[in-house]
Amino acid sequence: MNKTILITGATSGLGKAIAEKFAAAGYNCIITGRRKERLQALAAALSSSNNRIKILPLAYDVSKKEEVFNAINNLSEEWRNIDVLVNNAGLAAGRDPFDEALLHDWETMIDTNVKGLLYLSKAIIPFMKARKKGHIINIGSTAGKEVYKDGNVYCATKFAVNAISQAQRIDLLPHRIKVTCINPGAVDTEFSMVRFKGDEQKAKAVYEGYEPLHAEDIASTVFYCATLPAHVCINDLVMTCLSQANSFYTYKE
DSSP state of 79: G
Which range in 48-56, 74-82, 182-190, 221-229 contacts ligand NDP by CB under 6 A?
Answer: 182-190
**Which among 134, 115, 104, 105 has a CA at the least distance from the CA of 66?**
115
- Of 8 and 141, the one with the shorter C-beta distance to ligand 8X3 is 141
Could you confirm whether 148 is annotated as catalytic?
no
141 contacts ligand 8X3 (rule: CB under 6 A):
yes
- The amino acid that residue 52 corresponds to is R
Total residues in contact with ligand 8X3, by rule CB under 6 A: 6
Under the binding rule (CB under 6 A), the answer on residue 61 touching ligand NDP is yes
Answer yes or no: are the C-beta atoms of 78 and 130 closer than 8 Å. Answer: no
Is residue 215 near ligand 8X3 by the rule CB under 6 A? Answer: no
Under the binding rule (CB under 6 A), the answer on residue 113 touching ligand 8X3 is no
User: Cβ 196 to ligand 8X3, closest distance in Å?
Assistant: 11
Q: How far is the CB of 134 from ligand NDP (least distance, A)?
A: 20
If you compute the radius of gyration of the chain from its CA atoms, what whole number of angstroms results?
Answer: 17
> By CB under 6 A, is residue 71 in contact with ligand NDP?
no
Q: Which long-range contacts (CB under 8 A, 24 or more apart) does 20-23 make?
A: 20/46, 20/49, 20/219, 21/216, 21/219, 21/220, 21/222, 21/223, 22/84, 22/223, 22/226, 23/49, 23/50, 23/53, 23/55
Q: Using CB under 6 A, which of the segments 19-27, 57-65, 228-236, 243-251 binds ligand NDP?
A: 57-65
Enzyme catalytic residues: 154
